[in-house]
Amino acid sequence: MDNMRSRLARNLAHVRAQIEAAAVRSGRTGAEVRLVAVTKTATIEETRALYDLGVREFGENRLEKARAKIEALPGDVRWHMIGPIQRRKARAVVSLFPHIDSVDRLEVAETLQKHSEEQDKTLQVLIEVNVSGEETKHGFDPDRVGQALEHLRPFDRVHVDGLMTMAPFGAPEEVLRSVFRSLRALASEHGLHEVSMGMSDDFRIAVEEGATQVRLGRVLFE
């Protein structure tokens, strides 16, 4: 247990230092970049250890694993649903997650609005954008984001905080920068502050290009 905690403490300190350095290179501070720890491959014990080290935002993509961790951790954790949402599971998603980072189509947002009304809850959501245009990725086309935001404007239970994207895996740096820069510009165009982009392999570049949230798993737990 002590070895596990030491490993996580070392990894977290290293990650935070890299976020700070990347933020400074972009004219910001590390405090302007939120770390969402992706715990889908982590145990409850590892997740709790990160909590004890000061992490308060965690991301999960499977309801079953998430439920056990949500029940085991204190109530001040901000849980993010980071995976695609099946409409038949949306009621359970609403009951567990105050943050939905993966609204990839209007039907999902409509279903979340419905179940939020039923449960008297309000959700903070991110619109997923397929900036790279890959067929294997979810999300709105960049030129449809404005239309989607207009459609969601009357929703009183689903509040859009910003945009999210995933860059192509293993892409050259110039491609990563182009994807991240495009999302940052798209968010600015629509007056949205939150820009969630960057994972274990590319979060430094994402922060340099304006990310306000990074979703990190492997680099914390390896």
Tens of each residue's pLDDT in the chain, 222 residues = 679 999 999 999 999 999 999 999 999 999 999 999 999 999 999 999 999 999 999 999 999 889 999 999 999 999 999 999 998 999 999 999 999 999 999 999 999 999 999 999 999 999 999 998 888 788 999 999 999 999 999 999 999 999 999 999 889 999 999 999 999 999 999 999 999 999 999 999 999 999 999 999 999 998
pLDDT of residue 87: 87
| Cα-only R_g, the chain | 17
pLDDT of residue 195: 98
pLDDT of residue 134: 82
Read off the tokens for 2.
């002590």
pLDDT of residue 137: 84
Number of independent structural domains in the chain: 1
Angstrom distance (rounded) from CA 214 to CA 208: 12
Residues of the domain holding 166:
2-221
Read off the tokens for 150.
């207009």
User: In sequence order, which residues have a C-beta less than 8 Å from that of residue 26 and are 6 or more positions away?
Assistant: 207, 208, 209, 210
Read off the tokens for 66.
């998430």
SS3 content of the chain, % helix, strand, coil (to 5): 50, 20, 35
pLDDT of residue 117: 98
CATH of the domain at 97: 3.20.20.10
- CB burial readout 15-47, b (16+ within 10 A) else e: bbebbbebbeeeebebeebbbbbbbeebeeebb
pLDDT of residue 136: 79
State the virtual CA torsion across 86, 152, 143, 62 in degrees, nearest 10. -20
Angstrom distance (rounded) from CA 82 to CA 8: 22
Kindly report the length of the chain.
222
Angstrom distance (rounded) from CA 167 to CA 172: 10
